[in-house]
A and B are shown apart, each in its own frame.
Chain A
Amino acid sequence: MTVDMSKEDCCLTTGSCTGVEIGAVSIKWIELHADGSCSVDVRRHAGDPHSVLHEIISAKGSNADRHVVAVGETAQSLLDVAGRSETECIEKALASLDMRPDILLSLGGETFSLYTVKNGIIKNISSTDKCAAGTGEFLVQQFNRMDLTLEEGIEKSRSGKTVKLATRCSVHCKSDATHKLNKGECGTADIAASLVYDLARKIQRMIESSQWPSERIVVIGGVSGNGPFIAKLSELLGGKEITVLEQSPFLEAFGGAFLARELADAELAPPAGQWLRLKEFSLAFLKPLEDASGLLDYRVKPRGERTVSAEDSYILGVDAGSTTTKAVLYNIAKDTVDASVYLRTHGNPVLATKNCLQELLSQAKGIRPNIVQAGSTGSGREMVSVYLDGCPSLNEILSHARAAAKEAPEVDTVFEIGGQDSKFISFAKGIPVDYAMNEGCSAGTGSFLEEAASADLNVPVTRISDLAEKSRQPIAFGERCAAFINTDLRSALQQGGETEDVIGGLVYSIADNYISRIVGARAVGKHILFQGGVALNRSVGLAMAARLGKNIIVPPYPELMGAVGTCLMVKDLLDKNELERRAYRMESLLEGEIGIDTTFTCKTCDNFCEIQMISVRGNRFPFGGLCSKYDNERHKTKGLKEGTDLVAIRNDLIFKEFGVRQPVRPRGKIGLAMALTAYEMFPFFASLINGLGYELVMSDICKEGNEKTMATVCYPAQIAHGALHDLKDKGVDFIFLPNVVTLIAEPGFPFSFACGTTGMVGDMVRNQYKHIQQKIFAPALLFATPLQIEGTAAELVRHLSPALNIPAEEVVAAFHKAIAHQRAFMAALEQRGSSELAKIAGEPTVILAGRPYTVCAQEVNFALPKKITSRGYHVISADMLPTPPPGMHPMNTWRFTQQIMKAVTYAKSTPNFYVCLVSAYNCAPDVSIYHGVRQELAGTTYCYLEIDSHTAHAGVETRVGAFLDIIGSSARNTRDSQEGRSL
């Protein structure tokens, strides 16, 4: 490509000036010639820039001009020529083009950066590089997966419409897109258009959070050539001037070439033959996987001939996961798996189950197995249960746990890696207590391994283990996003890495990804069982053992543990006579379709769930909802009485009985951010605002606003941002978002801190919404001691009196009234708690321990209270429990961690009370007590949920479902032992 630069003032009389920049994906080699023209050479380097540079330089010959500048760190590390920073080169290029943008967006292959610019000078930079989702390379990969080149994909996107895509991870995005395409929900043009749209949204958010003028924006980097993206971005940014320059794809190198013109003699490059530095091998190596063989107990047996017997009785087990469906015929008498199948779910668990049945039938080779019961598990279990004539539908954690415990009774940790799902289960004294699964990221899943091995190395999944185990020096890739690993692999191969070492490294990489992203902060025990389809690869088990330095068992059927566990649970129920034998015929199960007849809205509670009426073989069943109401109806759960929802009672008390009393002739409106401590201090806030003569306007849920945070904050703090975003358009005169430092202390507690975030959230948000800063009240509120309360009164006078034009005495009077109102609420809550506790004494009850703004807020709690009560248990929030006995750690300084420990203490000393701890991801106070809680509750049944803005309902459902099932079975066990039955 040649660009005419004749309008530029080029000082060279002969020769040319060169700028070289090396990005994650390509090399940009720009030469400015004496005649004012500019030649452009942009080449993809596929992870081996050294060879590409060698090619380019060799072609130049020895007489190449010595005015050369290497731009940025990578180019400087490879070329022995003068170096300049990207910043300087961009500025030079902008000056040469007479551009004065406010913002310069550099959108490259692996990173996006935003430069704030003033008068052509770069002021600051912010950048993203953690995850590939939405970068240029991500787009290329997604297009390639649809067999489109980048250019074709971009072209296609012009005619597509936007659909909702899972663009958080490249592998998930691919399967979501494939799924949508297969189901005919949309076409490739729509997928392309949606990818482009998501990219534009991401950039829009980056621009917003820079808080920098953005009237004139220049886009550079590879993505700048994406016309539809630029059009979408312009549309989203409405009215801003967005410029893509002819030089945008290589602006840094272009600026470098200009700087090369100014090089002093001493900085001129040596003759071209000496430009390229010696190739440095940057590969680091790891220990051979075999070194960990002493730690691995690999029990997988060769899959020989299995026969289904006509004489024996079987249980059919189906594990309908979101990506794969597994089914087994379990021989009850022999305790063997006589037939099994594993195939893709493709978004339709019933169809997948049908296909599984077909395959099992063919494995039975004409024998009609005597199936006496069936069971389903996995995310599609309810639907499959309907399809299998209402067979038991069993929680997947419990199914896995049951199979794991049979294989290794002492197991305390289960790792599971499937095709696109990964899970982690942790046990305390045999009871599953912690559970995690990948949500939105595939880097720790089988598809990561499979795709990486097949795409660049042409190694089928069946050969991975052999090759990896042969490697004497696996290459260290570390933990890596699925979209970036290919570049690393290519680079390793080009640096001379052997295939087996690359595969060995890849295997280590999946272990690293799993340990870092799925296990993350969770406690890994001493007895680890590794299961799921990926565990069939012995090498991955070795990598896990090597990384953790712990013993690991791989069971005989690692890929079928869910289905096998289901059969074992069904067998347990049969043995205990809790389930009757039936006679299933596979042929008749294959008959009949399943379909949605109608839908209706359930109005039983405020969640207003959409319920589907499903019909199968002439029967109709209600299906769906956040709670278990309709599951109960389908399973005809006998004698189930809904539990008491004390959370609803608490919410009535706080928001109705002690809620707003709007003034008849209000002085104006004050908006209250319904976030964080508003769920504890609402009576105070309501009374204060109404007492000052203002109407109180509560914020509503605002998902869009939740995304407007400028920093990584916990989910509840995101909601505070959303609340403000919502209130700013609600026509209020002022907004109240205080910095709550301490809360009213419980008797006997010297400290009652909220947390570091709540103590500054008002100031944080005020600084973000500068244009309405004057309207936002963000006083510091402290309530722990009488003196703090007095100080708070003065603080409120300082903040409210001048702004509202209300005399100080009036503010103080309203404040003291509000405090009294809050205390009255707290007393009423405790009293109500005691009277309700007396009514439910001895009955199974779940204590929701956590902050009121997580456990009592509809936006955050995933209808947990209703879910629990619909299963027949009572539910209570920790703040309704009586004051704990002395003995709590005196340095437990936060009010809400005190309440969590109160719940723990109460549950430990009260029969049939169980703790469900709900925390927010990255919650600082909870991190401090996490280990303490685990230690205290070890051996009891409890549930730990961690929520962030990406938490999916299915994940919560699985975890809570397992917890409630365990409570149910222990309640049954207690009843059985009371009745003298042996278990």
Chain B
Amino acid sequence: MNKADRAVFSPDFKSVITSEGEQVALDDPRVAHVWPTDMTPYGLEYIRHFYENRGMRCRVASRTSPDTLNSAKGLSNGRECIPVVAMLGEVYEDLTTKRREDEITIYYIFYGPGPCQHGGWILMFDTFLERMKLKNVIFMAAATPMNNYLGNGYLWSFLLTLGYAMGDIMDEAENTIRVLAKDPQRALPAFKEACGKALKSASRGYVAIEPALREWAAAVRDIELKMPLEEAPKVLISGGGNIFWLHYPVTDYFVERGIVPKLAESTEFMYFAERTMVTMNNFQIGKGPADQGFKLDGIFERQVGHRASPAEKAEGEIALDVMSRSWMTEHFIKWLRSIAVTSGALFDDTEEFEEVFQAGSHIINPVCINESCSLLGKLLTVAKSEVYDGIVSMRVFNCPIAGGTTAILSATANEMEMPFAAIDVEGPSISANQKRLLETVAVQAVRNRSRKNRACSGSLD
């Protein structure tokens, strides 16, 4: 079987052309839209509703487990980065346990060129899937400006991003509830119900988002906390794209110890992936990262400038598109958070993505097109803010970027005296010794928070 036997989108992306050459509409009951990417469960729930509201069948990834990674082993070689292995496992499970026989399945996996392994995901999937000899499957369907967001246009993709943003918000709130709810037994189901409801109605369209989120915030505000959220110790879990698949045991560890964990946001990750285009553009027109590298006006300058070739101008147009999207994303996320914060369950105030990026660029050049710059930026901004009391960086042995960045992160954390631990993981599980490392962060986080609390209350202790 070769690639030609796979299903493909029609040129306008409005339908699928099956392996047999039949043209089938995207909302045909035979077509399933599958998101095997485990990036924020609430975000995925939004996506599922989003498709279902539009009359399409949709399945989303479940929580990554050692079993998920194991099921990928038949296809991968284990050296690939965790997201690939996890997604492959998810795809494999979906194919073997959920896919209907007559089904035309579209797997949505984002990809793009780039110096890290992400740039090669498509090569890997192509090879693996070639081996599986499947008919009527589309892999690596990724919405990009180059394909007009799979033919759905800008707004469609923007709405999906907002779904992820809501997912991030709900993840953060969930951790607050898990740690601080007076009656967690009752609070958590109530919280989940409120989230489900909000996601379902928000996914209907742009105008539905605000009322849904307001209703959600009101419901969450009704959940009684045992202490003010500001007084609770908090830690940030970061580590780049890997962490969405890996964080579970670390999150649970802190929750069990009364510390509110926060996972670096999926939208932040997406934002930086996109924003790189701006930095790259500005680099090309001679603007340095430290001063001009993040400014949006560079792109206009290039478009009206005379140096760019037509191809480069076309590239500039895409950059313009991405840029405006990322600008909108940042502003809309702020707007969403301004509504959601009334829930009393949100605490992260380091939402200025650009500020984060710029801070990191003083240590790592932002045109290296990897997450290092944002990871470092986050550390620096977090260390300055009073919100967090410790940071944990998770890295996997087969992500050299995470490895290299952690070295700088830990030295920087030492310099800033930010409680910090870096742990190497090979999947969503941690060892007894890694718990010792987390314990050190936990102890310091609690201590830092009580010091801050005392300072706030004016105690001179």
Contacts and interface: CB of A to CB of B under 8 A. Distances in A.
Given A127-B436, A931-B128, A755 B115 contact: yes
Contacts of A116: 414
A491 B453 CA distance: 45
Contact of A924 (B289, B399, B419, B433): B399
Contact of A893 (B78, B114, B419, B442): B114
A701 interface: no
A211 B411 CA distance: 6
Contacts of A739: 365, 368
Contact of B115 (A710, A713, A756, A929): A756
B55 interface: no
A131 interface: no
B286 A717 contact: no
A795 B283 contact: yes
A763 B440 contact: no
A523 to B, nearest CB: 6
Interface in B398-451: 398-401, 403-408, 410-414, 417, 419-422, 424, 431-437, 439-440, 442-444
B459 interface: no
A751 B126 CA distance: 19
A292 to B, nearest CB: 17
B364 A763 contact: yes
B363 interface: yes
- Residue of B113, B115, B419, B433 ringed by the most chain A CB atoms within 10 A: B115
A2 B175 CA distance: 47
A714 B422 contact: no
Contacts of A74: 432
Contact of B411 (A73, A129, A768): A768
Nearest to B442: A85
Nearest to B373: A760
Given A124-B420, A755-B115, A759-B115, A893 B414 contact: no
Contacts of B437: 125-127
A932 B408 CA distance: 34
B436 A125 contact: yes
Nearest to A779: B365
Interface string B49-87: 000000000000000000000000000011111000000
A264 interface: no
Contacts of B372: 760, 763
- Residue of B77, B120, B432 ringed by the most chain A CB atoms within 10 A: B120
B116 interface: yes
B283 A785 contact: no
B312 A785 contact: yes
A760 B286 contact: no
A520 interface: yes
B114 to A, nearest CB: 7
Interface residues of A, number: 84
Interface in A523-549: 523
Contacts of A892: 120, 123
A741 B368 contact: yes
A955 interface: no
A757 interface: yes
B284 A791 contact: yes
A983 B439 CA distance: 68
Given A759-B370, A889-B126, A928-B123, A122 B397 contact: no
Contact of A122 (B122, B312, B440): B440
B123 A889 contact: yes
B121 interface: yes
B98 interface: no
B124 interface: yes
Given A711-B404, A760-B368, A924-B399, A787 B414 contact: no
Interface residues of B, number: 75
B413 A124 contact: yes
A211 B414 contact: yes
Contacts, number: 250
B308 interface: yes
A780 B283 contact: yes
A73 B435 contact: yes
A85 B443 contact: yes
Nearest to A889: B123
B130 interface: yes
A13 interface: no
Contacts of B284: 782, 785, 787-788, 790-791
B441 to A, nearest CB: 8
Contacts of B117: 756, 924-925, 927-928
A717 B405 CA distance: 13
A751 B403 contact: no
B442 A767 contact: no
A124 B414 contact: yes
A88 B400 contact: no
Given A751-B113, A763-B363, A932 B411 contact: no
- Residue of B288, B289, B407 ringed by the most chain A CB atoms within 10 A: B407
A786 B308 CA distance: 9
A117 B79 CA distance: 37
B186 interface: no
Contacts of B306: none
A122 B367 CA distance: 36
Contacts of A272: none
B113 A764 contact: no
Interface of A: 72-74, 85-88, 111, 113, 115-116, 118, 122-127, 129, 209-212, 520-523, 709-714, 717, 739, 741-742, 750-751, 753-761, 763-764, 767-768, 770, 778-780, 782, 785-788, 790-791, 793-795, 798, 889, 891-894, 897, 922-925, 927-932, 935
Interface of B: 77-81, 111, 113-117, 119-124, 126-128, 130-131, 283-289, 307-309, 312, 363-365, 367-370, 372, 397-401, 403-408, 410-414, 417, 419-422, 424, 431-437, 439-440, 442-444
**Top 5 closest A-B pairs, CB basis?**
A928-B120, A711-B407, A759-B368, A794-B286, A710-B407
7 contacts: A73-B436, A86-B436, A711-B405, A713-B400, A780-B283, A793-B286, A931-B77
Given A125-B437, A924-B116, A924-B120, 20 more contacts: A73-B436, A124-B410, A124-B420, A125-B436, A126-B421, A209-B407, A711-B405, A753-B113, A764-B407, A767-B408, A768-B411, A770-B411, A780-B283, A791-B283, A791-B286, A893-B115, A893-B120, A924-B401, A927-B398, A932-B127
